[in-house]
Structure 1
């Protein structure tokens, strides 16, 4: 068993987002993501994604133009195949995300 800290920071530059898999189980994956001034391309994921912003500030953009500005403590569920991207994260400090990806059939109570 390992102890780690969700808020651990990298003191150096972050040329890319840092994505760490914290746990994985049958149809479920939990990730810690650290962004600092990053954005992304468009995602079209086969799994649902519940995401929480633990620190920093970010903007998510959804296909069709919807923008969500996130502050620490904000969370949302992104349904499978809802196209979205990270439009902006604050460049002055780390934005720390906790993301839980899970299969749609698990949300409906059916076996995986």
Structure 2
């Protein structure tokens, strides 16, 4: 048995991305952040749709439309494919754990 909150790194120089499940049409990923953000010009423009939820911590997403979304524990959002977005902020004092589901 596995636990989404186990095996967390003590130090996070960079975000950690871990595939939990992967198939041809879907991928479930655990992302661990602590103060990281996407580079200023680092927009995600993905082929898949992405459903993402914050399980612990807090974060903010920015969209190239100018829309910003703050996510706290339990908050989730569905991001359609090719919706350019970036992580503009994650809590620098607490570990943020995301659960992301990528699907076609």
Q: Is the structural similarity TM-score above 0.5?
A: yes
What's the TM-score once normalised by structure 2's chain length? 0.92
**Using the alignment, how far apart are the partners of 1:54 and 1:39 within structure 2?**
18
In the comparison of the two structures, how many residue pairs are matched?
Answer: 100
What's the TM-score once normalised by structure 1's chain length? 0.86
**In the TM superposition, what are the counterparts of 1:41-56 in structure 2 within 5 Å?**
41-56=42-57
Deviation at 1:64, TM superposition (A): 1.6
Larger Rg: 1
Deviation at 1:4, TM superposition (A): 2.2
After the TM superposition, which of the residue ranges 76-85 and 19-28 deviates more from structure 2?
A: 19-28
Deviation at 1:56, TM superposition (A): 0.1
After the TM superposition, which of the residue ranges 81-90 and 25-34 deviates more from structure 2?
A: 25-34
Where structure 2 has 5 or more consecutive residues not aligned to the other structure, the ranges are none
Which stretches of structure 1, 4 residues or longer, exceed 3 Å deviation after superposition?
none
Deviation at 1:26, TM superposition (A): 2.7
